[in-house]
Amino acid sequence: MANPWTGEVVLVLDGERRTLKLTLGALAELEQVLETPSLVALVERFESGVFSTRDVLALVSAGLMGGGYEMSAIEVGRAEIDGGPMAAARAAAELLARAFMVPGEK
């Protein structure tokens, strides 16, 4: 079970329940991979709904890395995701929100 207070999000890939989490290292790698000027810019893309599939793949891959799984964005793109692309996009958005959530906020 995912613990939202530690930033965890669950996504089922290829029939396996995976716990995703954006650690500091995963966030740093994410900035580099997406060549974004800041994580705030990435958050703004998700908040405004102008994020790309590449953003979703990179976030899910980074979350898997932070959760202890090694799975590249290419492998994530080939995986069977329960709930399809929308579930992956929701998980990516939740990862970002939970990574920056202050305890006590909803």
Q: Residues 37-49: pLDDT tens digits?
A: 888 888 888 889 8
Q: Residues 47-101: pLDDT tens digits?
A: 898 899 999 999 999 999 999 998 888 999 999 999 999 999 999 999 998 887 7
Query: Does the pLDDT at position 105 exceed 60?
Result: no
Q: How many CB atoms lie within 10 A of CB 106?
A: 3
Q: Residues 7-37: pLDDT tens digits?
A: 899 999 999 999 999 998 888 888 888 888 8
Angle at 64 between CA 91 and CA 37, to 5 degrees: 75
Q: Enter the DSSP assignment of 37.
A: S
Cα four-point dihedral sign 78, 57, 83, 51: negative
Judge whether 73 and 19 are in contact, CB under 8 Å. Answer: no
